[in-house]
Structure 1
Amino acid sequence: MSGADFNELLQAAEQLSADVEGTGELPRVERTLREVLDASSELWTRVAQTGPQNIQ
C-alpha cells in the first residue's frame, strides 16, 4: 500500500468516525465482541423460551 493510499484510507476512517460521533442521536457505547456475543446469546435464549411477545 502506498503512502497516498494509506492517507486516503486514514482520512476516510477519520471522516466516518466524525460522522458517527457528530450525530448525537444515540449514546456512544463501547463493548467488546465477547460482550456483544454474550448479550445476543442471552436474547436468543429468552426469545426461544418465551416467544417474542414477552421480551422487554
Structure 2
Amino acid sequence: MSGSDFNELLQAAEQLSADVEGTGELPRVERTLREVLDASSELWTRVAQTGPQNIQ
C-alpha cells in the first residue's frame, strides 16, 4: 500500500468516525465483539424458548 492510498484510507476512516459521532441522535455504546455476540446469543435463546411476544 502506498502512502497516498494509506492517507486516503485514513481520511475516509476519520470522515466515517466524524459522521457517526456527529449525529447526536443516539448515545454512543462501546461494546466488544464478544459482548455483542453474547447478547445476541442470549436474545436468540430467549426468543427460541418463549417466542417474540415476551421479549422486552
Do both share a fold (TM > 0.5)?
yes
Q: How many residues of Structure 1 are paired with residues of Structure 2 in the alignment?
A: 56
1:4-39 per-position Cα deviation (integer Å, ceiling 9, x unaligned): 010000000000000000000110011011100110
> C-alpha distance in 2, partners of 1:11/1:28?
21
> C-alpha distance in 1, partners of 2:33/2:10?
23
Instruction: List runs of 5+ in structure 1 lacking aligned partners.
Output: none
> C-alpha distance in 2, partners of 1:6/1:34?
29
Which residue in 2 is equivalent to 1:25?
25
Which residue in 2 is equivalent to 1:47?
47
> C-alpha distance in 1, partners of 2:18/2:46?
36
> C-alpha distance in 2, partners of 1:33/1:15?
22
For the aligned residue pairs, the C-alpha RMSD in angstroms reads 0.4
Q: Provide the secondary structure at the position in 1 that maps to 2:46.
A: helix
Q: TM-score, normalised by structure 2?
A: 0.97
Aligned identity (percent) is 98
Structure 1 runs of 4+ off > 2 angstroms?
Answer: none
